[in-house]
Structure 1
Amino acid sequence: MKKTKLLLAIAAFSVSTSFFAKAELSPVQKHVQLAMKMEHRDATDTKRDHNRNPIAALEFFGLEQDMKVIEFAPGNGWYTKILAPVLQDKGELHLAYPEKWLAGFDPLLKKEGFKSTHKLPINLDWNNEERRYALGSLNFGMKDADMILNIREYHNFNLTDKNKLNKAAFDSLKPGGKYVIVDHTRRHMEPETKELGRREDPVQVILEVQAAGFILEDSSDMFFRPDDELRYEVGRKTVTGNTDRFSLVFKKPE
């Protein structure tokens, strides 16, 4: 009897695995997959693909090819290199970063796939003493954005600047527009310390973003990592590249 149950379980697993392996990708996912194979992405980019899973993540965020997207604080452009080719024919990508840091994107923006990617200079600087961003007055200069992506950057601000950022996001989105936040997880109600400075309490994030007028539309556990104990700095060898991250999609009311 036990052997029969085991065989049935193996068969069921095989069928489900085969189904997901053959599951049809959406049109956006197919374009993401193509962008991931383009020559402008190097080995540093591709080695993170498995952990960041952009094919699943961008589908969950609700990305469409005809969207006007603001990528806030794009860092070294890991997401930019995928988003730009996906959006270039029907949509727009705006990189919100200080002018001096945007200059580093000039070589990339000249490559194939970036004709609809634009610089969006903002008043932002880095405070070495506090090890966080310092945000000046913030206005994205538009009111018709479809999506704002804030990927692993929310933790870099104090509460005053978070409120400023959330308000600017709300003001720049069209009704029904999406505000996406992904960040490293901190245990709920655990105080911020130096060790936990790059982690966020997702419940607190939800409350802060809702206070700006947003509605929480969806959340995902796609980046749940059971072996991340939520107590170490995200750069430590025991967790780096394998941190537990929450993914939240907020909507501006229509």
Structure 2
Amino acid sequence: MRNVLLAATALGLASCSNYGTEDLARAAGAAVLEDLIADAVGSVTRSAAFVERDEYRNPVETLTYFGVQPTDTVVEIWPGGGYYTQILSPYLSTGGTYYAVASDRGLGRVRALQEENAALYSNINYAAFPASAGDTMVPNGSADVVLTFRNVHNWEMGDADNGALAFSQMYAMLKPGGTLGVVEHRLPESADSALEETSGYMKTSTVRALAEAAGFEFVGSSEINANPNDTADYPNGVWTLPPTLRLGDEDRDRYLAIGESDRMTLKFRKPA
């Protein structure tokens, strides 16, 4: 199927005089990459509860945008319940390397996932994040891709000021030329910046500033994970929306209709 897709893409582009050889190869390669990622996302081994979140999280388009290859060394920062672990660990199992990094407490659900299906998730490597002296760390300069999904607000909320440390450690993990992919709940640029400390939403400009201060180059952004129905002004912040639904049955149908949060999708590069 993948060879057919590659050939079809090449033939289609070859008929367009505006495409050169390099453009044709890049587009064909992206199509095959998307097909490989789609296979992993479509696996029957994924939890049904996670599959239900796909319409909001767009994992095929997101991982394709970040250019995650099956032979890459990929670090996922704070994997939470394992939504992306269930995709990335099997996807990287034959030629790549997968790290799940967090505190011991933050890795509990991923470890449980591995215990439940040791064969499928045998390739998970663990490390601490943020790491202190003596912790198991992702080796510096070893990762092709570092990914973090909906976590930046946790490093900046309240009195916390761990964003600079987090981005500097992610920078250190990456090889020169490596990619940092960030998905985060998006606060409108016109909103009061104080909301970043309480709402779970972050301004794109704030995330960019943190990354660029650590040395990253901004590559681009995508609207893959945008949700124009999200107004980002709820009584319990982003947790008002699904899947948390912190208000319980109060206005439940309204928040279910909005769906998950509006999200920025940002790509950065560690300079070569």
TM-score over 0.5 (shorter chain): yes
Structure 2 spans left out of the alignment, 5+ residues: 1-26, 242-253
Q: Residues 40 and 111 of structure 1 are in contact (CA less than 8 Å); yes or no, is this contact kept in structure 2?
A: no
- Residue of structure 1 in register with 2:188 after alignment: 187
Shift of 1:34: 2.3
Q: After superposition, where does 1:60-75 map in structure 2 within 5 Å?
A: 60-75=65-80
Contact 1:91/1:116 (8 A) holds in 2: no
Q: Deviations over 1:41-69 (max 9, x none)?
A: 22211111111111111100111111101
- Does the Cα contact within 8 Å between 2:37 and 2:64 map onto a contact in 1? no
CA deviation string 1:91-115 (max 9, x = no partner): 1000002224434333432444323
Give the aligned partner of residue 108 of structure 1: 113
AA in 1 matched with 2:167 = N
Report the alpha carbon displacement of residue 208 of structure 1 after superposing the two structures with TM: 1.6
Deviating more after overlay: 237-246 vs 167-176: 237-246
Q: Which secondary structure does the structure 1 equivalent of 2:194 belong to?
A: coil
Distance 1:180 1:67 in 2: 14
Equivalent residue, structure 2, for 1:90? 95
- Correspondent of 1:117 among 102, 124, 132: 124
Counterparts of 1:40 and 1:181 in 2: how far apart (Å)?
26
Inter-partner Cα distance in structure 2 for 1:243 and 1:149: 18
SS of corresponding position for 1:106: helix
In the other structure, the counterpart of 2:264 is 246
Deviation at 1:82, TM superposition (A): 0.5
State how far apart, in whole Å, the 2-side matches of 1:31 and 1:249 are. Answer: 20
- 1:221 counterpart letter in structure 2: E
Q: Which runs of 4+ in 1 moved over 6 A?
A: none
Q: How far apart are 1:192 and its partner, in Å?
A: 2.4
Once the two structures are overlaid, the 10-residue window that deviates more, 190-199 or 149-158, is 190-199
1:211–1:226 Cα change, 3 Å:
same
Structure 1 pair 222–58 and aligned structure 2 pair: CA distance change class (3 A): same
TM-score by length of 1: 0.78
Q: CA deviation at 1:187?
A: 1.5
**Could you tell me which of 127, 139, 142 is aligned with 2:140?**
142
Deviation at 1:239, TM superposition (A): 4.7
Q: Alpha-carbon deviation of 1:196?
A: 5.0
Return the alpha-carbon distance in structure 1 between the equivalents of residues 45 and 194 of structure 2.
38
- Structure 1 or 2: more helix by fraction: 2
| Secondary structure at the counterpart of residue 229 of structure 2 | coil
8 Å CA contact retained: 2:178, 2:270: yes
* Mapped partners of 2:108, 2:232: distance in 1: 35
Aligned to 1:129: none
Aligned residue identity for 2:78: A
Please give the residue correspondences for 1:158-197 in structure 2 after superposition, counting only pairs within 5 Å: 158=156, 160-188=161-189, 190-193=192-195, 196-197=198-199
Distance 1:177 1:229, change over 3 A: same
**Residues in 2 aligned to 1:178 and 1:198: alpha-carbon distance in whole angstroms:** 24
Structure 2 residue 59 is the aligned partner of structure 1 residue 41: no
Counterpart of 1:227 in structure 2: which amino acid? N
TM-superposed deviation, 1:204: 1.4
CA contact (8 A) 1:217 1:250 kept: yes
Alpha carbons 1:228, 1:239 under 8 Å: kept = no
Distance 1:221 1:194 in 2: 21
Gaps of 5+ in 1: 1-22, 125-135
CA distance in 2, matches of 1:148, 1:194: 23
Question: What's the secondary structure of 1:157's corresponding residue?
Answer: helix
Q: Taking structure 1 as reference, are residues 248 and 205 closer, same or farther at Cα in structure 2, changes over 3 Å only?
A: same
Displacement after TM superposition at 1:253 (Å): 0.4
What SS is found at the alignment partner of 2:86?
A: helix
Percent identity of equivalent pairs: 26
